[in-house]
């Protein structure tokens, strides 16, 4: 055969192979699905890993059993180009399977996973700042599709970019219904086979993780919590380790996943600090994608100096202490719970919208991040069969009833337009007013619930600044006509909840 014809044939074959090669976008999920044994106990008996190679970069990922004889390996490619993979297993049918795929550049709103940047801040993998504005919906994934879809519709309004949510079902006030599925095979309420997971349960959760990601929302997954009537808060170390390994294999490839070791770790009385250190170590050593790791407290704040904890997750209403805690722990400080807006009898859930909005501004202008919750009980059901007015956002999702979310969204917009990585800076001649900014360039200060007619601020003497008065409640921004420099007297409208945005400008 003519040499030119041979080269042409090889070229055409190569084009066909390349055209048929699977493709996935950078930081999204590539999945290997394999058919294997369904007899015995595949959750315990079968070992499966995948090795993914890009040039000299190799990542090893654990596979998992997904029921009906299906095994999956999930991988998040972090580099553009061709990746090759091969499997290893103690089952011949699953062993030494090979393939490749092409990783394409990220597009649109795909900024990659969030990580810590420069000690005190969060940023996506492409460098875009992540200003964490979270909310809590503990058991929303365990409700029906209709209520979950309403929750997602509410979230699509752009108030929040992080959701705290439990993996295990929750039993507590306004959380008395049974979940759609249970995490283990067996019979409710406590007759479980802890050696066998229920794939339907975890498929439902990962469906919600993907839906949150489509809205640009991080899924802060709570691993353990004390609010339980099924026995899931009291597992053996062997079962806990198997559970942790399973959820890492299933969920960690999704770029929007965070790990929270507990909701209120110190209320789980049969677990010791050594137990919590074990869990933290387990996630840090097992997760191939190194997702963010936190642990949330009830009363006793955890020692977040542990270097394997990526950020400090705090339950405390004193959000103004963020400036102090970020220096103590030397990592981002997230007030995931600072009390909630609502009207329930419990003191942690009956703040006014003004009070919660104030906590957000005080936390942010002291260098921290703050989370939201909505705990309103009303006389009006939200319109779903067998559901009543006790469908609280904080528990089951649905609709937001409070007045703070629009104000939180307003603050989020201001931060997303501001310089990245602002830090606490001195501005006011009298505290407790707080301020973050870039010294000499940009300041964002908050006046709490004070209502001064005027106040003095000290700006650099070698430049001029534009001052804007922000009404954080009515969500207005009013620029002052005069330019300011040095020791300056600012006229104010004598209303509470004012903030100042000050930017360097020409004279």
Per-residue pLDDT tens over the stretch 218-259: 999 999 999 999 999 999 999 999 999 999 999 999 999 999
CATH homologous superfamily of domain 129-417? Glycosidases (3.20.20.80)
- pLDDT given for residue 383 in this prediction: 53
Mean pLDDT along residues 304-326: 98
- pLDDT given for residue 378 in this prediction: 83
- The residues that bridge with 115 in the sheet, in sequence order, are 123
What distance in Å separates the CA atoms of residue 484 and residue 303, rounded to the nearest whole number?
44
- pLDDT given for residue 385 in this prediction: 44
The residue among 432 and 304 whose pLDDT is bigger is 304
Q: What is the mean pLDDT of the chain?
A: 94
Residue 106 near residue 78 (C-beta atoms within 8 A):
no
Sign of CA dihedral 385, 388, 393, 394: negative
Domains 129-417 and 425-505 share a fold: no
CA Rg value for the chain: 26
- pLDDT given for residue 13 in this prediction: 38
Residue 233 structure tokens: 């808060």
Mean pLDDT along residues 369-376: 98
DSSP helix/strand/coil, 90: coil
pTM score, two decimals? 0.94
What distance in Å separates the CA atoms of residue 446 and residue 453, rounded to the nearest whole number?
15
Per-residue pLDDT tens over the stretch 397-442: 999 999 999 999 999 999 999 999 999 998 886 668 999 999 999 9
DSSP helix/strand/coil, 175: strand
What distance in Å separates the CA atoms of residue 334 and residue 304, rounded to the nearest whole number?
12
- pLDDT given for residue 20 in this prediction: 62
Is the model's pLDDT at 357 over the cut of 50?
Answer: yes
What distance in Å separates the CA atoms of residue 465 and residue 452, rounded to the nearest whole number?
21
Domains of the chain, by residue range, sit at 20-104, 129-417, 425-505
What distance in Å separates the CA atoms of residue 480 and residue 468, rounded to the nearest whole number?
6
Residue 94 structure tokens: 């699953």
What distance in Å separates the CA atoms of residue 28 and residue 217, rounded to the nearest whole number?
14
Is the model's pLDDT at 16 over the cut of 60?
Answer: no
Q: Where are the beta strands (DSSP E) in 323-463?
A: 333-337, 341-342, 369-372, 374-375, 423-424, 434-438, 442-446, 454-458
- pLDDT given for residue 3 in this prediction: 45
- In the chain, the percentage of residues whose pLDDT exceeds 70 is 93
pLDDT band at 390, cuts 50/70/90?
confident
The residue among 19 and 209 whose pLDDT is bigger is 209
CA neighbor of 499 nearest in space, from 314, 332, 362: 362
Q: Specify the CATH class of 425-505 in words.
A: mainly beta
Is the model's pLDDT at 384 over the cut of 60?
Answer: no
Mean pLDDT along residues 260-276: 98
Q: What share of the chain is helix, strand, coil (3-state, %, to 5)?
A: 25, 30, 45
For residue 49, how far is the Cα from the chain centroid?
Answer: 27
Backbone angles phi, psi at 303, to 5 degrees: -80, 95
What distance in Å separates the CA atoms of residue 66 and residue 82, rounded to the nearest whole number?
27
- In the chain, the percentage of residues whose pLDDT exceeds 90 is 91
Is the model's pLDDT at 124 over the cut of 80?
Answer: yes
- pLDDT given for residue 17 in this prediction: 40
- pLDDT given for residue 438 in this prediction: 97
- pLDDT given for residue 428 in this prediction: 83
The residue among 218 and 6 whose pLDDT is bigger is 218
Residue 488 near residue 457 (C-beta atoms within 8 A):
yes
CA neighbor of 132 nearest in space, from 314, 417, 333, 375: 333
Mean pLDDT along residues 320-324: 97
Lowest mean pLDDT among 2-16, 20-34, 70-84, 205-219: 2-16
Run of H or E residues at 415: helix 404-417
CA neighbor of 341 nearest in space, from 325, 359, 328: 359
Residue 97 structure tokens: 């399977």
Sign of CA dihedral 163, 164, 166, 171: negative
pLDDT band at 21, cuts 50/70/90?
confident
Is the model's pLDDT at 80 over the cut of 60?
Answer: yes
DSSP 294: E
CATH homologous superfamily of domain 20-104? Immunoglobulins (2.60.40.10)
Q: Are strands 184-187 and 30-35 parallel, antiparallel or unpaired?
A: unpaired
- pLDDT given for residue 63 in this prediction: 98
Residue 307 near residue 322 (C-beta atoms within 8 A):
no
Is the model's pLDDT at 496 over the cut of 50?
Answer: yes
Run of H or E residues at 163: strand 162-166
Q: Please give the C-alpha separations between residue 341 and each of 266, 317, 393, in angstroms, as whole numbers.
A: 24, 12, 11
Is the model's pLDDT at 14 over the cut of 60?
Answer: no
Residue labelled with tokens 């365990």: 142
């Amino acid at each position: 055969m003519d040499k030119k014809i041979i080269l042409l044939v090889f070229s055409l074959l190569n084009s066909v192979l390349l055209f048929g090669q699977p493709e996935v976008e950078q930081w999204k999920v590539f999945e290997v699905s394999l058919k294997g044994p369904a007899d015995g106990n595949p959750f315990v008996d079968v070992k499966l890993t995948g090795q993914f190679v890009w040039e000299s970069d190799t990542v090893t990922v654990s596979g998992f059993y997904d029921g009906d004889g299906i095994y999956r390996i999930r991988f998040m490619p972090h580099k553009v180009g061709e990746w090759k993979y091969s499997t290893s297993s103690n089952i011949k049918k699953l062993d030494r399977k090979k393939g490749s795929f092409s990783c394409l550049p990220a597009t649109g709103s795909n900024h990659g996973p969030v990580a810590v940047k420069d000690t005190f801040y969060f940023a996506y993998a492409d460098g875009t700042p992540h200003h964490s504005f979270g909310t809590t919906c503990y058991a929303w994934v365990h409700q029906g599709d209709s209520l979950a879809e309403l929750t997602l519709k509410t979230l699509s309004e752009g108030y929040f970019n992080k959701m705290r949510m439990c993996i295990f079902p929750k039993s507590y006030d306004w959380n008395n219904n049974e979940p759609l599925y249970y995490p283990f095979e067996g019979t409710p309420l406590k007759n479980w086979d802890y050696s066998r997971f229920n794939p339907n349960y975890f498929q439902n959760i990962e469906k919600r993780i993907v839906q949150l990601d489509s809205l640009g929302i991080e899924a802060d997954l709570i691993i353990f919590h004390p609010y339980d009537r099924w026995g899931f808060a009291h597992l053996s170390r062997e079962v806990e380790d198997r559970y942790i390994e399973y959820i890492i294999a299933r969920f960690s490839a999704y770029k929007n996943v965070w790990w929270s070791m507990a909701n209120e770790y110190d209320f789980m009385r049969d677990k010791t600090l050594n137990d919590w250190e074990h869990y933290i170590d387990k996630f840090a050593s097992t997760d191939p994608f190194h997702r963010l790791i936190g642990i949330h407290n009830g009363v006793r704040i955890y020692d977040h100096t542990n270097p394997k904890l990526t950020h400090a997750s705090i339950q405390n209403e004193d959000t103004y202490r963020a400036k102090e805690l970020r220096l103590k722990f030397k990592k981002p400080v997230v007030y995931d719970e600072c009390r909630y807006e609502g009207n329930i009898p419990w003191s942690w859930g009956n703040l006014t919208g003004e009070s919660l909005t104030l906590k957000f501004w005080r936390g942010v202008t002291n260098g921290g991040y703050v989370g939201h919750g909505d705990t309103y009980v009303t006389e009006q059901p939200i319109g779903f069969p067998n559901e009543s007015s006790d469908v609280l956002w904080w528990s089951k999702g649905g609709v937001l009833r409070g007045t703070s979310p629009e104000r939180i969204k307003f603050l989020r917009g201001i931060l997303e337009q501001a310089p990245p990585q602002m830090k606490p800076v001195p501005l006011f001649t009298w505290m407790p007013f707080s301020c973050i900014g870039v010294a000499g360039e940009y300041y964002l200060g908050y006046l709490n619930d004070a209502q001064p007619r005027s106040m003095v601020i000290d700006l650099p003497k070698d430049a001029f600044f534009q001052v804007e008065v922000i009404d954080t409640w009515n969500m207005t921004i009013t620029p002052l006509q005069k330019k300011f420099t040095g020791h300056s007297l600012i006229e104010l409208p004598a209303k509470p909840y004012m903030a100042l945005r000050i930017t360097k400008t020409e004279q």
